[in-house]
Chain A
Amino acid sequence: MQSRKLFNRISLLRIERNVSRKELAEAIGVNFQTVGYLEREEYNPSLDLAFKISEYFDFPVELIFSIKPLKPLSEELKELKNKIGGK
């Protein structure tokens, strides 16, 4: 079965938090090469791994992974803020 490509912000979040691939890999229990594959969007994680990553960064899973190309995080947060402000 050919699965859909998943886009993610792992690389962005990892660099922002100043975490190495090895540290992230140890925290989520995978090989550090797998982190590279995830960052290059060459491998789709399982649901369990996606939740582990979201728990590690303390971010909702839908802000890290998407089936559509991701917008810059600042733009996304601005939209979210407007949505909340509009209510």
Chain B
Amino acid sequence: MTQNKSQTNRKIGVVINLASLLVLMVIAEYTDKYDRNTVLIIIGLAALILILISFIFTYWKTKLWHFVHKPIRKLDERELQITGNLLRIAYAIFTVIALSVLLLFSLMEIQVSIITVAALIYFAHILPATVIAWKGWSWV
């Protein structure tokens, strides 16, 4: 019961984190290229705060961030197996999303901004931990 609850909380944290990241990215691109108004900046800042808060509760306090960033020499065979599976899934998801974003920008003839690049780097780093947060440990 408690495990299910924490799993649900983690899923909520993942949704908030990724949705806020998307909102931040869209607002940053929009304000950079078109219109920079106070309302959009406030929404962007709120999204940034949500990213930070959800990151702390979903990835940092649960030690998921620490697990996926542990040096290989400190991992035992089970952890290596989990990390291998996680990175395989994360790589597949990241390449599809990152290349789709780049394709979209290229089709819309928009220059990729530093915010989008930073968001993609952050996304690449949280993705393996996101897979565990979403699916739990037992699937490996």
Measuring CB to CB, which residues of chain A are less than 8 angstroms from any residue of chain B? 29-31, 34, 37, 42-43, 45-46, 49
CA distance A30 to B74 in the complex (A): 9
Q: How many residues in B have their beta carbons less than 8 Å from beta carbons of A? A: 5
Q: How far is the CA of A61 from the CA of B25 in the complex (A)?
A: 56
Return the chain B residue nearest A37 by Cβ: B78
User: B138 to chain A: which residues have CB within 8 Å?
Assistant: 42
Q: Which B positions have Cβ atoms within 8 angstroms of A?
A: 76-79, 138
Chain A: interface secondary structure?
loop
User: Which 9 residue pairs are nearest across A and B when measured between Cβ atoms?
Assistant: A30-B76, A34-B78, A31-B76, A43-B78, A34-B76, A46-B77, A37-B78, A49-B77, A31-B79
Contacts of A29 in B (CB 8 A): 76
Complex-state Cα separation, A41 to B20, whole angstroms: 39
CA distance A34 to B74 in the complex (A): 13
Shortest distance between the CB of A4 and any CB in chain B (Å): 16
Docked complex Cα distance between A49 and B138 (Å): 20
Contacts of B78 in A (CB 8 A): 30-31, 34, 37, 43
Closest to A46 in B: B77
The complex places the Cα of A29 from the Cα of B74 at a distance, in Å, of 10
A45 CA / B79 CA spacing, docked (Å): 12
